[in-house]
Structure 1
Amino acid sequence: MNEKSHLTHLLLLLIATICLSTSGPLGNFIDMPTPVIIWWRSILAAFILFCFCLYKGINLKINNKKDRFTFFIAALLMGGHWIFYFYALKLSNVAIGMISLFTFPVIIALLEPLFSKTKLDPIHILLGAMVLLGIYVLAPEFNLENSQLQGIMCGILSAICYAVRILMLKDHITKYNGIMLMFYQVLILAVVLAPTLYFMDASNITTQYPYVLMLAIITTAIGHTMFVNSLSYFKASTASIIGSTQPVFGIIIAFFFLNEIPTKHTFVGGALILATVLIESIRSKKK
């Protein structure tokens, strides 16, 4: 990868990260049951991505049964990631919910050798530790009765689902278009979550639809698709550590739109996370 191409792909990955970071403020703000929000997010994104695939002539054929099974499991993992994440946001706040999710680069760095021939790079353990330290600084005092701790635990569960899903799809991005991969995942998730509409109150969609549309288009259709595409140019651990700026962007967005005021701990923790991004960006350029 030459210097100009590297900078272009790095810029696209950062744009994907900013789009993905809108999930925190939107997930915290939208006033509907979490599974209902995720269903609307999935069905709208599926429609948008299907239209885009038709417009661009993207092949939607899945080659074999093994890949179909992988896509199905990946969709369930994405559903687990989104649902646990949104519960984390609602139990705590945007800062805590997003930050707790970002244990996932450490999980990916540790698990990636199990999914591919990649050897465990000791530097990723160090960078992961820096991210964890940033999270520790940002997190409130741990109290088992505190809903914020429950939010952190949901965030970590979300991170586990997210990490495994990324690693499962890593080899498929070379065989399939990233937009096609995302389309099938949101389509499967929409079908799986459809029964929740009968058991949970979905009436608030009449007032919440602009924000659900933003979640479907900006966060899901654009952000997730661009991030999956980035795996063609970066290792999963590299892309994930660079994506660790999401809490920083999310906290900034929450400050302006939800009036959530960050503390000095937020700035210190955010600085540690940004440091890992800069280090990994420089390291990935040399590969």
Structure 2
Amino acid sequence: MLRILLLLSGVFFCSTSVIIIRSSELPPALVAAYRLLFASILLSPVFFLAWRKHRKTFAATQLKRCLIPAGLLAVHFISWAWGARLTYVANATLIINLTPMVMPFLAHFLIREQVTRREILGTLIALSGVIVLSYGAFRIDPSYLKGNIVCFASMTTFAAYLAYGRINKDFPSIWLYMVPIYAMAALLCFAFSAASLDSLSIVSWREVALMLGMAVLPTTLGHVALNRSLRYFAAQTLAVVNLHQFVFAGILGWIIFSDVPPGSFFLAAALCVSGAVVVVREAARVAAERRRGKP
């Protein structure tokens, strides 16, 4: 139960990202850069504490294993904010929530994890909730093709980033994995910002507060909890449960911005919850059989 709560807390804190991005006026690349920079600074004390504890077993080669997920995270953060501004909101929301559709392929080729039929069933039930939410709003418009493609690429990089979190679950401490990723990804985002923007400065203390919020809530509490959960849950299970970001974001938007969700939102939420229950129960069954020594 505690592991489920950890996973759900990660999904909830990640859902606050869209609320803060909506409140910020910074360019997407700078939002990504500063949230990662502030997170790296805030987490540096726990990184050094973990390094002192595990320095005999933590080698420089493990830092090299952070390079690919850091690159994937940087591309995801920048491309998601960019793509969402190039297409309809409904299109972006639908595409970014298609992670469970590509995760089985990534899980097979990168992690060698098999997805059972019941997990596929639960995934389809959960994805039907996303389709219900986006039905009637998703538009096929040639002028928004670029935005759709960027959002799809962003979704794929996020799925691959999660898959690498599963691959690197053997790190002696989650902080020895996440903090180097944040620092490397921050450098990549600042490099991209320097090449594409006229200024790298934050124009107001309000934006500083928002970026600190991004660093603490979705980046530290959210992504760290998700990657920690990958030590206990299969990548497909996490991808399906992560669909509930739109549920939490919809509720937060209702409370903060008075954005009343449509009736389809509640049906979509019920379908996502039902699908997640099927997937989580199947994952628990598979794990129990492995503990008993069954193939």
Q: When the two structures are superposed, what TM-score results if normalisation uses the length of structure 2? A: 0.84
1:189 to 178, 185, 188: 185
C-alpha separation between the residues in 2 aligned to 1:212 and 1:255? 22
The alignment status of 1:177 with 2:176, answered yes or no, reads: no
The corresponding residue for 2:24 is: 30
The alignment status of 1:48 with 2:45, answered yes or no, reads: no
User: Shift in Å at residue 232 of structure 1?
Assistant: 1.2
Please, which runs of 5 or more residues in structure 1 have no aligned partner? 1-6
The alignment status of 1:249 with 2:244, answered yes or no, reads: no
User: Shift in Å at residue 91 of structure 1?
Assistant: 4.7
Q: Is the CA contact 2:118–2:282 (under 8 Å) kept in the aligned structure 1?
A: no
C-alpha separation between the residues in 1 aligned to 2:12 and 2:148? 22
User: Shift in Å at residue 214 of structure 1?
Assistant: 0.8
Q: Is the CA contact 1:36–1:197 (under 8 Å) kept in the aligned structure 2?
A: no
1:142 to 136, 139, 144: 139
C-alpha separation between the residues in 1 aligned to 2:146 and 2:259? 19
Within a 5 Å distance, the mapping from 1:45-124 to structure 2 comes to: 45-55=39-49, 57=52, 59=54, 63-65=59-61, 67-91=62-86, 97-124=92-119
- Per mean C-alpha deviation after superposition, the further-off stretch among 75-84 and 255-264 is 255-264
Residues 102 and 77 (structure 1), Cα distance of their counterparts in 2 relative to 1, 3 Å cut = same
C-alpha separation between the residues in 1 aligned to 2:96 and 2:209? 25
- Per mean C-alpha deviation after superposition, the further-off stretch among 259-268 and 180-189 is 259-268
Q: Is the CA contact 2:74–2:185 (under 8 Å) kept in the aligned structure 1?
A: yes
C-alpha separation between the residues in 2 aligned to 1:166 and 1:174? 14
Higher gyration radius (CA)? 2
- Per mean C-alpha deviation after superposition, the further-off stretch among 182-191 and 236-245 is 236-245
The alignment status of 1:217 with 2:212, answered yes or no, reads: no
- Per mean C-alpha deviation after superposition, the further-off stretch among 210-219 and 275-284 is 275-284
C-alpha separation between the residues in 1 aligned to 2:89 and 2:46? 31
Q: Is the CA contact 1:26–1:211 (under 8 Å) kept in the aligned structure 2?
A: yes
Number of residues paired by the alignment?
Answer: 279
CA-based RMSD: 2.5
Identity %: 19
How far does the alpha carbon of each residue in 1:6-31 deviate from its partner, in whole angstroms, 9 at most, with x for none?
A: x1111111111111111121122211
Q: When the two structures are superposed, what TM-score results if normalisation uses the length of structure 1? A: 0.86
The corresponding residue for 2:13 is: 19
C-alpha separation between the residues in 2 aligned to 1:183 and 1:214? 17
What SS does the corresponding residue of 1:194 show, helix, strand or coil? helix
Residues 263 and 146 (structure 1), Cα distance of their counterparts in 2 relative to 1, 3 Å cut = farther
Residues 58 and 235 (structure 1), Cα distance of their counterparts in 2 relative to 1, 3 Å cut = farther
C-alpha separation between the residues in 2 aligned to 1:257 and 1:150? 31
What SS does the corresponding residue of 1:262 show, helix, strand or coil? coil
Residues 127 and 154 (structure 1), Cα distance of their counterparts in 2 relative to 1, 3 Å cut = farther
Residues 203 and 212 (structure 1), Cα distance of their counterparts in 2 relative to 1, 3 Å cut = closer
